[in-house]
Amino acid sequence: MSTMIDFRRELHRHPELSFEERATQQYILAQLTKAGIECRAIAGTGVLARIEGRRGNLNRGVVLRADIDALPIKELNDIDFRSENEGVMHACGHDMHAAMLYGVLTELNKERDFEGTLFGIFQPGEELNPGGASLVLKEKPFEGYDIAAVIGQHVDARLEVGEVGICPGEFMAANDELRLYVSGRGGHGARRGDIDDSVTAMCDMVISTTALNAPKCVVSVGRIIADGATNVIPDRVSAEGTIRTFDEEERERLHTLIRSNARRVEERYGVKVEVDINRGYPSVVNDVMLSYEAMIITADEGVAVRELQPIPMAEDFGYYTRLYPSLFYRLGVGAASGGSHTATFLPSEEALEVGRRVMQRLALHILNK
């Protein structure tokens, strides 16, 4: 039976992009089956594991979740388990997440000395809309069960090995993809009376949109395409950006304000403005009571606990938090690991055992309540 390190390195060698995790899925199914753990495919390329405890109400359950997809990045680490899939890399630590979940499941399956039912989700497609969590839940895998908690963790180089960060309540933002299109009469830049200045109109649209930034919401535009020339105003200009919010009312308010800006720009410049907002993941809202319980339990394990502030990053774990009491926390892997989503990100494997212990202890605490 594989160790957590073996498991992690196998996934790291063979990373797969979102919703393409076919070999990853087969490897996980094979390892769980070898360990005698009931498992099956879910959400296309994911895996659902189930372990029944030896006592208590088996309809009461706890769900542990790890994501398994990689990113379109060419790895630059000089290691013997470097990615063998050119241009694809586990640059966000999902191989670590999956290995720790595997460790918890294999450890608890040995004796099954707990109450209720333990589920493990090896979830595909966290990095890409619509998010694998939404597809997992669409299959209603926990129907008929009283789910007491869903627990997930994410590696974090801003915390050292042996540290865990927890944020009670609002933790991570909802994310929406924003696309703007301005259309008008293009033409010679010197003939101002014969054109609709789509470029200036888009600049106005971008400035007024990013002016909506506030402490608990983020609007950023990262790409503008105006395919004209020094003396040519194009017929059409496009822009792309992101919207991050922690509150659904604030989310809807921002969408409304952006569309209102579009109507104002249309009237001022005589152009047509299209606003396309692709709704992404909901915000991650941790159960407050569960968060503080987890702080106590984690500290009892000898792991340092840091109380975190909300961050405008996004995670499809938010789908779980909308339905069940949930906790998503950060696991320290050390500053030497480098930055996530980069070609040299390399989390410390010393964190694997810390992450397994914390997740396992939390699961047992909730199951045996």
Among the three residues 279, 314, 333, which one is the final residue of a domain in this structure? 279
Among the three residues 248, 279, 310, which one is the final residue of a domain in this structure? 279
- Look at the chain and report how many structural domains it folds into: 2
Query: Do residues 199 and 229 make contact, with C-beta atoms less than 8 angstroms apart?
Result: no
Q: Are 153 and 250 within one domain?
A: no
Q: Are 43 and 89 within one domain?
A: yes
Nearest to 325 by CA among 367, 288, 282, 364: 288
pLDDT, residue 1, reads 82
Give the model's confidence band at 134: pLDDT under 50 very low, under 70 low, under 90 confident, else very high.
very high
Q: Are 246 and 308 within one domain?
A: no
pLDDT digits (tens, 9 = 90+) for 80-128: 999 999 999 999 999 999 999 999 999 999 999 999 999 999 999 999 9
Partners of residue 176 on adjacent β-strands:
243, 279
Q: Are 336 and 358 within one domain?
A: yes
Q: Are 144 and 198 within one domain?
A: no
Structural domain for 350, as ranges: 4-173+283-367
Q: Are 144 and 55 within one domain?
A: yes
Q: Are 63 and 146 within one domain?
A: yes
Q: Are 138 and 181 within one domain?
A: no
Q: Where do the DSSP E strands lie in the chain? A: 38-42, 46-52, 60-67, 117-123, 146-156, 163-166, 169-172, 174-183, 187-188, 217-226, 232-233, 236-245, 272-279, 284-286, 304-307, 326-332
Q: Are 312 and 224 within one domain?
A: no
Count of CB atoms situated within 10 Å of the CB of 164: 25
Q: Given a cut of 90, is residue 216 above it in pLDDT?
A: no
Q: Are 167 and 234 within one domain?
A: no
pTM of the model: 0.93
Partners of residue 58 on adjacent β-strands:
none
Among the three residues 236, 252, 279, which one is the final residue of a domain in this structure? 279
Q: Are 33 and 161 within one domain?
A: yes
pLDDT, residue 96, reads 98
> In this predicted model, which residue has the larger pLDDT, 215 or 14?
14
CATH of the domain at 138: 3.40.630.10
Q: Are 260 and 236 within one domain?
A: yes
Q: Given a cut of 90, is residue 369 above it in pLDDT?
A: no
CATH of the domain at 191: 3.30.70.360
